[in-house]
């Protein structure tokens, strides 16, 4: 599988394909044309054919796509057929909300530990976790084979924490702190920013009022 040759633009669309295909499977729909897929996803049919042509001949003229096969293939490409051990750093409002959402574990991303620097937070219980002292991050990462860290701390301090967890072996960072983290090239940072999304909404509705 030539995954390496798939462009980042296509990769960014794959989670959406995966979700819609999953919805189709739940409704027992086994095949779909690029036109029908286009109607539900909102990408053009030609975009869909182009995207899905990147990885194998799942579409057949006159048949459409085999939903299950395509779903499985995208699952593999996205690495969702594997399990990942994660930790969450910063057990405040956002950190607790993420911890309380069970969907990430269902998708294979298991939070193994929660960390905070505030002595008043350390030792408190949240779901199955006792919040741990972030002084002990390195030891936990090494002992529990942690690949992913979810950063939910304020932007001050985020780089320092990043340097420590990267040194301890974390290779993927899901970063919610509004700061551009510097990491070595073998480490991937995926930033999430709800505010940017909200500002996009603002742009789109501002002239309608």
Minimum separation from the CB atom of position 18 to ligand NAI (A)? 22
99 versus 134: smaller Cβ distance to ligand NAI:
134
Angle between helices 67-77 and 8-26 (to 10 degrees): 140
Q: How far is the CB of 116 from ligand NAI (least distance, A)?
A: 4
**Residue 122 backbone dihedrals phi, psi, to 5 degrees:** -65, 130
Q: How far apart are CA 146 and CA 141, in angstroms?
A: 5
| Rounded Cα gap, residues 165 and 170, in angstroms | 6
- Judged by beta carbon, residue 37 or residue 148, the one nearer ligand NAI is 148
Q: Which residue is nearest to ligand NAI (CB)?
A: 92
In this structure, what are the phi and psi dihedrals at residue 200, rounded to the nearest 5 degrees?
-65, -45
| Nearer to ligand NAI among residue 36 and residue 133 (C-beta) | 133
Distance, in Å, from the CA atom of 10 to the CA atom of 203, rounded to the nearest integer, reads 25
Smaller CB separation from ligand NAI, 126 or 187: 126
Task: List helix spans (H) across 27-100.
Answer: 34-41, 45-53, 67-77, 93-100
CB of 93 to ligand NAI, least distance (A): 4
Residues that bind ligand NAI (CB under 6 A): 89-95, 115-118, 121, 134, 152-155, 157, 161, 176-178, 192-195
Q: Least distance from C-beta 151 to ligand NAI, angstroms?
A: 8
CB of 29 to ligand NAI, least distance (A): 33
Is the alpha carbon torsion for 43, 46, 47, 48 positive or negative?
positive
Nearer to ligand NAI, 173 or 177 (CB): 177
């Amino acid at each position: 599988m030539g995954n390496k040759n798939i462009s980042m633009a296509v990769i960014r669309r794959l989670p959406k394909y995966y979700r819609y295909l999953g919805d189709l499977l739940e409704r027992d729909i086994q095949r779909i044309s690029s036109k029908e897929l286009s109607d539900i996803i909102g990408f053009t049919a030609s975009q869909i054919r182009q995207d899905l042509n990147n990885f194998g001949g799942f579409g057949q003229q006159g048949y459409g796509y085999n939903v299950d096969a395509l779903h499985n293939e995208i699952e593999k490409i996205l690495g969702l057929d594997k399990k990942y051990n994660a930790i969450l750093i910063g057990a405040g409002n956002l950190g607790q909300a993420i911890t309380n959402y069970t969907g990430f574990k269902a998708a294979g991303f298991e939070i193994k530990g929660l960390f905070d620097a505030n002595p008043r937070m350390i030792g408190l219980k949240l779901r199955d976790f006792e919040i741990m002292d972030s002084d002990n991050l390195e030891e936990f990462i090494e002992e529990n084979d942690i690949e992913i860290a979810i950063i939910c701390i304020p932007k001050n301090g985020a780089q320092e924490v990043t340097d420590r967890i990267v040194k301890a072996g974390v290779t993927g960072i899901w970063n919610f702190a509004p700061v551009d983290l510097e990491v070595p090239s073998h480490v991937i940072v995926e930033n999430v920013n709800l505010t940017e999304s909200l500002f996009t909404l603002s742009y789109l509705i501002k002239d309608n009022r």
